[in-house]
Amino acid sequence: MELAGKTAVVTGASSGIGAATVRQLRAAGVRVAGGARRVERVAADVALPLDVTDEASSRAFVDAAVEALGGIDILFNNAGLALTRVPFDESTEEVEATVLHTNVDGVLRITRLCLPHVRDEGHILFMGSIAGRQAYPHGASYIASKFAVRGFSYALREDLLGRPIRVTTVDAGLVETEFSLVRFGWDKEKADAVYEGLDPVTPDEVAECVLFALTRPLHVNLDEIVIKALAQSSGARVVRREP
């Protein structure tokens, strides 16, 4: 599949995997509408404010993106977050609501609003996680949200069967982005510790996998891509170098 001349919508486009994917799509000749709360950091052809937890914001984003692009060939549901690492009996309703509204409701909402505008030969991608495949301690709300995303991608694949629209989930492990900073309330020491003693995957390496999925022949659907650092076998098992 040639990407030049196609259009894409990317959520969570202000940093990390979203920003890297925007860069690589644009380098491949794709016209990109990127959305994020920190819209000033979005380096897309069309940069738009977006809060995926809010219906009005999401609808305004999709309407503006479609008007600017003329239609959608690629949708990358990338916006998401995790908050805290605590046993579930120490969780709070606020944390659970924020994670689920962002990672689950937001994904369903953006997909529902975009789907009528996705053209034949289009591609819908979801940023999942290895947390949506195998649980680990002290991450229950995030793990639940990513299991839900994987389940939704399976269901959408069934609903779109017979139409020339592909569906892919990208399940990543340790990728060094602002993800851990957000999770630990912008505590840099805690965030840095997540990646110490190993070589994490980079956002650009994940974006390269996204573009690989996009450029397969139309009859080839990469249902799932799982990406981990070599030093990581699961969310709970990581081997670190000695200090």
Task: Render pLDDT for 107-158 as a digit per residue (tens, 0 to 9).
Answer: 999 999 999 999 999 999 999 999 999 999 999 999 999 999 999 999 999 9
Q: Which of 136, 142, 154, 195 is catalytic?
A: 142
Distance CA 193, CA 200 (A): 12
142 in active site: yes
Is the full-model pTM beyond 0.85? yes
Distance CA 126, CA 116 (A): 17
Task: Render pLDDT for 165-204 as a digit per residue (tens, 0 to 9).
Answer: 999 999 999 999 999 999 999 999 999 999 999 999 999 9
Quote the pLDDT of residue 8: 98
Positive or negative CA dihedral for 198, 195, 144, 104?
negative
Task: Find the length of the chain.
Answer: 243
- String of DSSP letters for 108-147: HHHHHHHGGGEEEEEEEEEE--GGGTS--TT-HHHHHHHH
Average pLDDT over residues 224-229: 98
Quote the pLDDT of residue 243: 77
Task: Render pLDDT for 2-37 as a digit per residue (tens, 0 to 9).
Answer: 999 999 999 999 999 999 999 999 999 999 999 999
Residue type at 71? G
Instruction: Indicate if the pLDDT at residue 242 is higher than 90.
Output: no
Residue type at 54? D
Distance CA 50, CA 60 (A): 8
Quote the pLDDT of residue 63: 98
Helix axes 55-69, 106-114, angle to 10 degrees: 40
Q: List the domains of the chain with CATH numbers.
A: 7-227 (3.40.50.720)
Distance CA 149, CA 154 (A): 9
Residue type at 77? N
Count Cα neighbours of 49 within 13 Å in the Cβ-side half-sphere. 5
> What residues does 227 pair with on adjacent strands?
172
